[in-house]
Amino acid sequence: MLLLFLMVFATIDGIKGDCSFVEYSGPICTAKITCVGTTEDIDTLLNNWRCIKSDSRQWNRYTETYDYELNDYKLDVDVQFVNVDDNENPLIGIEEDTKVATLNIGSGNLVSVPPIISRLIVLTEFSLTYNQVEMINLRKLSGVSMKVVNVSHNQISTIEEDENVNPYHSLVSSIDLSYNALESIPDNCFEMFSTLIYLDLSFNKLKQFDILTFEGITQLETLKLSNNEISEISQNLARFRHLKDLAIDNNQLTSLTAISFKSLISLQKLNLSSNYIKHIEDESLATLRNLKELDLSHNKINAIRQHLFQNNNKMFKLSLSHNDIENIAGGAFSTTNISFFDIQDNHIRGSIDSDTFLGISVESLDLSKGGGLKALGDKAFSTLGQNLKYLNLSNNLLENITESAFQSLEILRILDLSCNNLVDIEFNTSDLTQLTEYYIQNNLIKKVNSKMFKNMKSLVRLDLSNNKVEDIEFSSFIDLTNLRDLNISNNAFVNSLTQNLFRGLYKVNSLDLSYIKSVSCLNGTFSGMASLVYLNLSHSLFDNIEYETFKATGSIKSLDVSHNFLQNFHINTSSILQILELYLNNNKLQNITSETFKNLRFLEKLNLAYNNIYHFDSRGLQSTPHLHYLDMFSNYNLHVMGDVFNNLILSKVSLRNVRHKFNFEKAANTSISTLILSNCDIDDINSVYVYQIKDILKLDASSNKIKVLNKGSLQNMNILNWLDLSFNIISTIQPGTFLSNEMINSLNLYSNNLQYLQFGVLDGLRNLRILNLSNNEIHTFGVNLLHSSPYLNELFLDNNNLKSMDFTALSETSVNIITIGGNSISCDALAYWKKYNNYNLNVTAETFDFDSENIHGIACKTNSSRVENKYENNNFNITSDVNEIKKAVDNIYNYLKMPLNETFSRITALLENNHKYFDNALAKLNRSEIVFDEQFRKNAVNSKSDLLPQLLNNSDRVANNINTMIRLLEINNNLTKLGNIQKDKLQSPVLIANNMTIGKYVNNNSTGSATKLSADSLNEFDNNTLVDIKILLYIIASCFTIAILLFVVTITYKYWYRQVSHRVHVNQLYDSGQSVRGGLEME
């Protein structure tokens, strides 16, 4: 048998197609076939199924072969994702004689039931769900063996009628038509389904039923009509005498009458929730003697009358929640046996009396959120005492609770009376011996006494917060021997917390006294609370905590005294040796001495923020070797020296908003993982000596006044990985600043004054992942700056002065995201990149701007918006350009007419005083400059004895030529001005007078034949002539400028070269890590 089984699966595994085959063991051959789209492979699967082939063969005269005789078999077929656009007959391969027992067609686009279904004689279960069927004929689905029909989750709006199909009675017992679009059901459509037991018509659009709608159905047990639009129940359901489960929830019912369920004598479960039922007649449920579960929740019922449930003595589950019930008649539930009862979120008014819940036996009763309950009568819950463990009366208007209200509640565990109007608690608590949680917060209680908690020996949690408590009597908590959690916060104590106030609470581990009005804690206030771990005294008016306040405690691990008025904190710390967390923030502390935290060896977290501390003793923390977290935020005048942290290993230290100067120069053996120095008015980061602290991982120096970063700023900080320098005024970063910070992965330089980054600024940042340069004044950003940061992933450059960006080069780096919003990037370049190359580099913006020119929300500038019209004010533009040329040439002339020695002196001074410009130039030198230099040294420098006299002889000639060019430029400028002012009069007689004036000006301001222009020659000028002169002058000026620049370079090269070589060597020493002092190599 095992061998046969293995052979079968080996054969099936070899089958290819859209269907899978799984065989099951059984008395006959049984298998499940799962197909996708179509069943065309079923024939192949059956031909290869060894189980159904018998040993005998029979001659087939049509094929002239011997065929196997087939054994009996049964198939379960599951077809998913049918697409009629691909195959009109998705059930191809299934014939009338194919023995399909169950067929499921799901998740497709079928619009009708395949015809083959009605001819499958052994089909017992048919499911066609999640398709698009709009019309159905139930009679055609009533095959010979059919028992279950499921056509839910379609778009069926019509049930067809066909009198000539299947005249016999069907065997179908279950029909599911839910989740369709039925608005009505034709008469007699279920006539042939006399054995129908289950009918689901939920989630349709049915409004009503006719008298013949359910004709022929006599054995129905379950009817689902949920989520329709039914507004009335008349006698349409009268025929269902065997009905056990009826759901008409989420409809539009408004009332229940005596005839609504009159004939449903077998009904056991009735769901009428989420309707609009307001009125229920007393006899509505009278005939439902077998009813066990009734759901009337989420309606508009306003009263429960006495006789409504008098015949429902088998009912054990009743839900009346979320109604408008204001009154419950006494004894309304007396004939029931309810063990599950839900009545929360109603508006019960008046009082709860002893017979209100008679007949109910539940473990939990929730009467919260009613808002109208004002009183609890005598023995109000005595009938519930046998099983009640949880009672919630919160959010009502309770003012009066009689003394015996909670009598007999001997197993009650949780009692919630919060959010009421209780002033005094005077009821008898002698039966509440098993109570573990007691909530009476948010009331009006003014005084606490011992009677309130008498015999509550099992109480573990007590909440008295948000009352009006002014005084606590001595020994009020004496009976609460097992109390663990006590909350008395937000009260109005008028006296100090006195000695032994909490006597007897030796097991309490959490005490909340926050938001009280007491001004002092006296010695021994918490005496005897040996198990106290968490003590909260915050947000009060304490200005004094006496030395022995915490005497005889010893287990406190968290003490919160924040938000008070303490000017000093001087207590016997030996009473709190186990403390881990101490919160003293938001007080008025002034001094921290060596005694303040003495002996607190286990202290891990200390918060001193928002005080007036001005002196911090250097030994103030030496008794706290396990301190990890220290917050001194906003102690403006704090005088703290770096040695206060000596020998400490701290996870986080915050000195934010400390304005007095401080530094870590004397820090020794100090380790701080996260150091916050923001808003400290730091103008020189070097003066803080942060590099004296070991193991800094995160440094926040944002919102200061730092101007410069250099190689000494962050030296030796080898494991720093997060640096925030945003919101400073940094304008200069020296190349090599980050050479010792290769572990930084996030660098934030947001909102500084950076205009450019010199080459080498990012050197050392090998592991940089995020670089934020937004909100600076950067006008150029070369991609080669990132050469030393191969892992950079995110680059932020928003709101700078960038006009271009090489996206192609940037896409070849590791950068995945760049933000450039708020710049002047070309819209054409940005649009091209977003269209064709966005897959490599995501160009975006931190804030999208759709109010100006943009590409996908990234602000940009079109070329037309930056280029002036070339035809507008042309003469004016030429004049401005000529003026610029004249000014530049004039400066060169004034410079060259000086004696040679003075020229050399000025060049030397310029080189000495502007190191940074030459440092920047050095980074751009290439091999060609070096080759040129070598050739120059061989030829020019070695022959300086011949070169210098020649230069001296030519200097006067060059100066004279420059002077001549200046005069020509002046003439051109005057001509252009004339053209602008009197453009329309150039051809008029008035021109002669003007030309005479110009001629005088020329004669008085020029020498030599080259500069003489007569008034007669100017008469011949026209617009074209003026333009020609201007072009000629531009050419002359350009030639002279080039010649002069070459002349200057030649003179200065030998003096400059020595400076250049020296600075290159110095920079190499910096890069190699060798010592450099005062710009000289230490060799």
Domain ranges of the chain: 16-132, 583-705, 751-862
Token reading at 127: 């499911």
Architecture label for domain 751-862: Alpha-Beta Horseshoe (3.80)
- Residue 110 predicted with pLDDT over 70: yes
Nearest alpha-carbon partner for 882 in 1010, 1032, 771: 1032
pLDDT, tens only, 520-567? 888 888 988 999 999 999 999 999 999 999 998 889 999 999 999 999
Nearest alpha-carbon partner for 373 in 338, 327, 409: 327
User: Do 78 and 48 form a contact (C-beta atoms < 8 A)?
Assistant: no
In three-state secondary structure terms, 1008 is: coil
pLDDT, tens only, 930-943? 444 455 444 444 44
φ/ψ (deg, to 5) at 57? -125, 160
Q: Facing residues of 66 across strands? A: 59
- Residue 868 predicted with pLDDT over 80: no
Average pLDDT over residues 466-486: 91
The per-residue pLDDT for 11 is 36
Q: Give 280's Cβ-side CA count (13 Å radius).
A: 23
Q: Which fold has domain 583-705?
A: 3.80.10
d(C-alpha 632, C-alpha 612), whole Å: 10
pLDDT, tens only, 253-264? 999 998 889 889
The per-residue pLDDT for 926 is 42
What's at 520, amino acid-wise?
A: S
Token reading at 626: 């396990």
d(C-alpha 448, C-alpha 461), whole Å: 16
- Range picked from 331-335, 517-521, 560-564 for highest mean pLDDT: 560-564
CB atoms within 10 A of CB 699: 24
The per-residue pLDDT for 1 is 37
The per-residue pLDDT for 932 is 45
Token reading at 223: 């009817």
- Residue 66 predicted with pLDDT over 80: no
d(C-alpha 306, C-alpha 301), whole Å: 14
pLDDT band at 884 (very low <50, low <70, confident <90, very high): low
pLDDT band at 1077 (very low <50, low <70, confident <90, very high): very low
**583-705 and 751-862 share one CATH topology?**
yes
The per-residue pLDDT for 91 is 87
Lowest mean pLDDT, pick from 1-5, 194-198, 402-406: 1-5
Max CA-CA distance within the chain?
Answer: 135
Which percentage of the chain shows pLDDT scores above 70? Answer: 77
pLDDT, tens only, 247-298? 999 999 999 998 889 889 999 999 999 999 999 999 999 999 999 999 999 9
d(C-alpha 149, C-alpha 117), whole Å: 11
Nearest alpha-carbon partner for 186 in 197, 196, 177, 195: 177
The larger pLDDT score, comparing residue 1024 to residue 640, is at 640
d(C-alpha 986, C-alpha 980), whole Å: 10
Average pLDDT over residues 612-633: 93
Average pLDDT over residues 580-593: 95
pLDDT, tens only, 419-457? 999 999 989 999 999 999 999 999 999 999 888 999 999
User: Do 214 and 234 form a contact (C-beta atoms < 8 A)?
Assistant: no
Report CA dihedral (909, 915, 917, 923) to the nearest 10 degrees: 130
Token reading at 10: 């080996």
Report the predicted TM-score, pTM, of the whole model to 2 decimal places.
Answer: 0.69
Mean pLDDT (the chain) is 81
Helix (H) or strand (E) holding 532: none
The per-residue pLDDT for 862 is 84
The per-residue pLDDT for 1071 is 42
Contacts of range 717-721, beta carbons closer than 8 Å, 24 or more positions apart: 717/690, 717/691, 717/741, 718/742, 718/743, 719/695, 719/743, 720/696, 720/744, 721/697, 721/745, 721/746, 721/767
Average pLDDT over residues 888-894: 58
User: Do 487 and 505 form a contact (C-beta atoms < 8 A)?
Assistant: no
65-70 vs 471-472, strand pairing mode: unpaired
Q: Angle, nearest 10°, between helix axes 1023-1072 and 915-922?
A: 90
The per-residue pLDDT for 1028 is 57
The per-residue pLDDT for 940 is 44
Name the burial class of residue 81, with classes exposed (0-12), middle (13-18) and buried (19+) by CB atoms within 10 angstroms of its CB.
Answer: middle
Q: What is the DSSP letter of 116?
A: G
pLDDT, tens only, 641-695? 878 888 888 999 999 999 988 899 888 888 899 999 999 999 999 999 999 888 8
pLDDT band at 816 (very low <50, low <70, confident <90, very high): very high
User: Do 782 and 758 form a contact (C-beta atoms < 8 A)?
Assistant: no
d(C-alpha 58, C-alpha 426), whole Å: 98
- Residue 1058 predicted with pLDDT over 80: no
Could you identify the residue written with the tokens 């968290």? Answer: 558
Average pLDDT over residues 832-851: 85
φ/ψ (deg, to 5) at 312? -100, 55
Average pLDDT over residues 207-236: 90
Lowest mean pLDDT, pick from 16-25, 390-399, 430-439, 510-519: 16-25
pLDDT band at 69 (very low <50, low <70, confident <90, very high): low
In three-state secondary structure terms, 218 is: coil
In three-state secondary structure terms, 416 is: strand
Q: Give 974's Cβ-side CA count (13 Å radius).
A: 17
Which percentage of the chain shows pLDDT scores above 90? Answer: 51
